[in-house]
């Protein structure tokens, strides 16, 4: 049983509504947030998110679950003379930059096309030691071939996937092909399996626990999906908080068919702002 489960959790039955925000925050050293359904929904930021993240950032470490690639590369001491080739968007660039890891590709290669001429050879950088693949709406054949060459021809080059999600909620209106599509493309051309550092792998929790010298039970995973986010947190030995601002309804959570119970649930992460009021009033 982790620390958070001791804060007001009922024995058996479904997860309790979070009431004691301050005790939860005090018992946690690091929050990991899923983004889709927690920070934003479709293309809209969820109500109260900026203030909540500001408040938590002043008290704890906070991470997006999508930042797992940088966390992993940092923890395995990715050599400073090596580079990452990115299939992905600005978020992966940002996380690698913040971790001090060299990278190429990503948005820079979004407009490149291959118009083949006889005998054409694509040169590639032999210092690429890892290809990181995440969701990329500007995927093209140039990127596929570049990543394929690095993985097939650079000795020891790693193939890292930030997630293998089939679909993503890019807009409220429908589901869109997700990171699993980009990862699948590179699996198909290399016949290699990626190291999946994001959900459902628990690399990230282990990396954070090691980096901050804390227990995984002092990490709280916050997400909107029972079978991915909450299970991911539980598999990593973390406390778990379900928010109802995404795909899971209270009815689903409390259904007798649901076997995955978080330590707590709340409506949206800005409910945590209540902790600030208590702290301020105290």
114 makes contact with a copy of itself (CB under 8 A):
yes
Given candidates 13, 118, 155, 156, which one binds a copy of itself under the rule CB under 8 A? 118
Report the residue number, 35 or 239, with the smaller CB distance to a copy of itself: 35
Report the residue number, 148 or 217, with the smaller CB distance to a copy of itself: 148
**Residues in CB range of 160: below 8 A, 6 or more apart:** 69, 72, 73, 130, 131, 132, 133, 194, 195, 196, 197
| String of contacts with a copy of itself for each residue 179-208, x by CB under 8 A | xxxxxxxxxxxxx-----------------
**Residues in CB range of 6: below 8 A, 6 or more apart:** none
Burial class of 177 by CB neighbour count within 10 A (0 to 12, 13 to 18, 19+)? middle
In three-state secondary structure terms, 3 is: helix
Report the residue number, 182 or 269, with the smaller CB distance to a copy of itself: 182
State both tokens at 6: 């001791």
43 makes contact with a copy of itself (CB under 8 A):
yes
Query: Catalytic residue positions?
Result: 34, 36
136 makes contact with a copy of itself (CB under 8 A):
yes
Given candidates 47, 54, 108, 175, which one binds a copy of itself under the rule CB under 8 A? 175
Torsion sign, CA atoms 92, 93, 97, 98: negative
**224 among annotated binding-site residues:** yes
Task: Give me the residues that bind a copy of itself (CB under 8 A), please.
Answer: 42-44, 113-114, 116-122, 136-141, 144-145, 148-149, 152, 164, 166-167, 170-191
């Amino acid at each position: 049983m982790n620390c958070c489960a001791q804060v007001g959790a009922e024995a058996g039955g479904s997860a309790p509504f979070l009431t004691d925000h301050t005790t939860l925050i005090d018992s946690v050293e690091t929050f990991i947030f899923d983004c889709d359904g927690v920070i934003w929904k479709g293309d809209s930021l969820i109500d109260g998110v900026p203030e909540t993240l500001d408040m938590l950032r002043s008290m704890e470490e906070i991470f997006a679950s999508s930042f797992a690639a940088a966390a992993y590369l940092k923890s395995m001491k990715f050599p400073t003379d090596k580079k990452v080739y990115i299939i992905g968007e600005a978020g992966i660039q940002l996380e690698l930059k913040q971790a001090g890891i060299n990278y190429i590709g990503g948005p820079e290669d979004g407009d490149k096309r291959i118009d083949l001429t006889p005998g054409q050879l694509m040169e590639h950088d032999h210092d690429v030691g890892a290809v990181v693949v995440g969701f990329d709406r500007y995927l093209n054949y140039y990127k596929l071939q570049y990543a394929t060459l690095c993985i097939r021809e650079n000795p020891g080059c790693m193939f890292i996937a930030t997630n293998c999600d089939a679909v993503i909620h890019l807009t409220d209106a429908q589901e869109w092909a997700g990171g699993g599509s980009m990862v699948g493309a590179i699996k198909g051309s290399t016949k290699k399996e990626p190291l999946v550092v994001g959900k459902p792998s628990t690399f990230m929790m282990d990396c954070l626990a090691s980096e901050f010298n804390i227990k995984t039970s002092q990490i709280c995973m916050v997400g909107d999906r029972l079978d991915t986010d909450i299970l991911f947190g539980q598999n990593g030995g973390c406390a778990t908080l379900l928010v109802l601002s995404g795909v899971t309804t209270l009815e689903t959570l409390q259904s007798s068919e649901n076997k995955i119970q978080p330590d707590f649930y709340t409506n949206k992460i800005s409910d945590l702002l209540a902790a600030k009021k208590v702290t301020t009033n105290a």
